[in-house]
Structure 1
Amino acid sequence: MASALRILGYSVYDSPDQILKQRETWIEIFDGKHDNNIFKKMYKDIDAVTDVPACAVWDQILEAFPNSKLIFGIPKFVIFLALSRLISYTMYRVWLLMMKCNTACFGHFANSFNVNEMLTRSAYRKHEAYARSVCPKDQLLVYNVSEGWGPLCKFLDKPLPEEEFPHLNKNSQILKSTMGLTSIEKLEQKVGDEIKQKAKIVILCILGIMFWFMYM
């Protein structure tokens, strides 16, 4: 979706952009430290924002930009969260943000181990019903990317592009660019380096304690 909007000429902040460039601000937002004016500052030079965490507070963003249009996507119910959250600082900060975003979206925290599909589907239906009831009809498009350019361009008053509608997330390829890294291997290496660094600190602490008991 973000790629399609960029092809249409919009500047877009997708989920990786928000997580990498605005992570700490988003954590503060979910902690209630900002009002709607923060979005005017965050997106003063941005035309569109997609995916999490912005989708959790779309109505607040709409209040900040009342002439905006809302595209409500119909997604697959898939949740991915990092398993290294507790030991890697980089992954932990992302996990912390996603935990707060999950709670804002679904009313409960869902991770890789305890996804309750029934509650999640119920929360999603409430989310969709709320969007339909609150957003002005002429500013709302309920859309599935499989519909292609037609409905999207009509809604945004844009001419149909010559190129095909983008599909960049085949086989979860988009994960390779998450965290600003070019491959999953580099992400694993970054997390691994952090784990090794923490392990060295733990070992030094243990050796220090052993030395203290032996010679004190």
Structure 2
Amino acid sequence: MATPEDFTRIGNYAHMHSPNPSINRSLATRTVPLSVLCLGYSRTGTLTMHHALTTLGYPSPYHFSSILANPLDSDQWMAALNAKYNGLGPLPTKKFFDALLGHVGAVTDAPCNLFAAELVAMYPDAKVVLVEREIESWERSWAAFAESAYDPVLPLLARLDPEWLGRIVSVGRATTQVSAGFAGTKAQAKVRSRGAYRRHYAEVREMVPEGRLLEFRLGEGWGPLCAFLGREVPDVPFPHENEKERNKQFFVELGRKGMRNILRNAMVVLMIVGVPVGACYWAYRG
């Protein structure tokens, strides 16, 4: 069982230890305006931006960790990813995003950033924030993340816990592969990631009209961000999330919870199969 210290270390990823509400968002509609699209790559301060957007009062900012609060979101994200990147099924529409992200006032991180073109076009009133990191620094951080994301053990465990771990691993692996230049292996990711990173930033800059885009560095603090978004500067320091530590602990907790689920599933199977078999055996003996 996770301790309070574990919750502190994994921050927003602590959603994985919350009760699963099992909300089918395909039946939902938009309830709040989608006002901010933070479209930078993972490992560029997306957790920090999630914290900042929350502090500024945007409802339910969406980050990859948000999926942990409702793993059923994974099914819709996988359908969208397969449609856009594998040509499988209909492409996501505005109605699709209004359902999946209808409760959300801002987005950051994957999978949302992988649908930058769609979100920019479908929500023309949303302002775009692009946080970029010096590429060598980003590449070192991304390589450390890929060590865990491409761990061959995770897909094996996911098959034994398809309802929870299977969903999380599937969408996590898919977003990582796309972000790494459609890399199916860790070795491919090392070769392709830098090019994918640069293409993404060039495409966002090209697609966003002048005046709608803020190029933002986390070290600049609240000033330029609040001025661009039209929000008052909060009376708290600009947040700083240690994403390396958060992600490291996330993968540890992900494996732990997956193993607990697998053991629980095994016990259920033993109860379902073992009790009738045992009863038949003793009835036969009698």
Post-superposition Cα deviations, 1:135-172, rounded to whole Å, max 9, x if no partner, equal: 11211112221221122111111121110011133652
User: Quick one: structure 1 residues 123 and 161, their matched pair in 2 at CA, closer, same or farther if it must change by over 3 Å?
Assistant: same
AA aligned opposite 2:93: N
- Per the TM alignment, residue 91 of structure 1 is displaced from its structure 2 partner at its CA by 3.2
Describe the shift of the 1:19–1:34 C-alpha distance in structure 2 as closer, same or farther (beyond 3 A): farther
The answer to which of 79-88 and 49-58 deviates more is 79-88
Q: Is the 8 A contact 1:18 1:53 kept in 2?
A: no
- Tell me the equivalent position of 2:214: 141
For residues 184 and 217 of structure 2, the distance between their equivalents in structure 1, rounded to whole angstroms, comes to 24
User: Which residue of structure 2 aligns with residue 189 of structure 1?
Assistant: 256
Identity across aligned pairs (percent)?
24
TM-score (norm 2): 0.60
| Letter in structure 2 aligned against 1:169 | N
Listed one character per residue, the Cα deviations across residues 45-88 of structure 1 (whole Å, up to 9, x for unaligned) are 31101111101111111222111111112142313415422223
Of residues 100, 112, 117, the one that matches 1:42 is 100
Question: Is residue 84 of structure 2 the alignment partner of residue 84 of structure 1?
Answer: no
Structure 1: gaps (5+ residues)? 205-216
Letter in 1 for 2:74: R
Which ranges of structure 2 fall in alignment gaps of 5 or more residues?
1-48, 84-89, 274-286
Instruction: From the superposition, tell whether residues 105 and 162 of structure 1 become closer, same or farther in structure 2 (CA, over 3 Å).
Output: same
Report the counterpart of residue 5 of structure 1 in structure 2: 53
| Residue 40 (structure 2) aligns with | none
Q: What is the Cα deviation at residue 129 of structure 1?
A: 0.7
Q: Distance in 2 between matches of 1:100 and 1:189?
A: 21
> Which residue identity does 1:56 align to in structure 2?
L
Aligned-partner residue type, residue 54 of structure 2 = R
Does the 8 Å CA contact 1:99/1:109 hold for their aligned counterparts?
no
Q: Could you tell me which residue of structure 1 aligns to residue 65 of structure 2?
A: 16
CA shift in 2, pair 1:137/1:174, >3 Å: same
Contact 2:181 2:192 in 1 (8 A): no
Distance 1:188 1:66, change over 3 A: same
Residue 126 (structure 1) aligns with: 199
Task: Output one character per residue of 1:17-44: Cα deviation in whole Å (capped at 9) or x when no partner.
Answer: 1354311110111122442221122223
Q: Describe the shift of the 1:9–1:175 C-alpha distance in structure 2 as closer, same or farther (beyond 3 A).
A: farther
Instruction: Name 2:38's counterpart in structure 1.
Output: none
- Determine the C-alpha separation between the residues in 2 that align with 1:191 and 1:44: 29
Q: Which has the higher mean CA deviation after the structures are superposed, 8-17 or 188-197?
A: 188-197
Q: CA RMSD in A?
A: 2.8
Deviation at 1:192, TM superposition (A): 2.0
Deviations 1:1-30 (A, max 9, x none): 111011111111221113543111101111
Candidates 166, 172, 196, aligned match of 1:98: 172
Q: Flag the 1:192–1:28 CA change in 2: closer, same or farther, 3 A.
A: same
Deviation readout 1:106-130 (Å, 9 max, x if unpaired): 431355x325334211111111111
CA distance in 2, matches of 1:146, 1:65: 28
Which residue does the alignment assign to 1:116?
Answer: 189
Counterpart for residue 45 of structure 2: none
* Equivalence for 1:25: 76
Residue 101 of structure 1, CA deviation: 1.9
User: Distance in 2 between the 1:28 and 1:60 partners?
Assistant: 15
Supply the AA of the counterpart residue of 1:44: G
Whether the 8 Å CA contact 1:102–1:110 is kept in 2: the answer is no
C-alpha separation in 1, matches of 2:188 and 2:216: 25
**What is the aligned residue count?**
196
Contact preservation (8 Å) 1:36, 1:61: no
Q: Determine if contact 1:27/1:97 at 8 Å carries over to the other structure.
A: yes
Structure 1 110/140 Cα, relative in aligned 2: closer, same or farther at 3 Å? farther
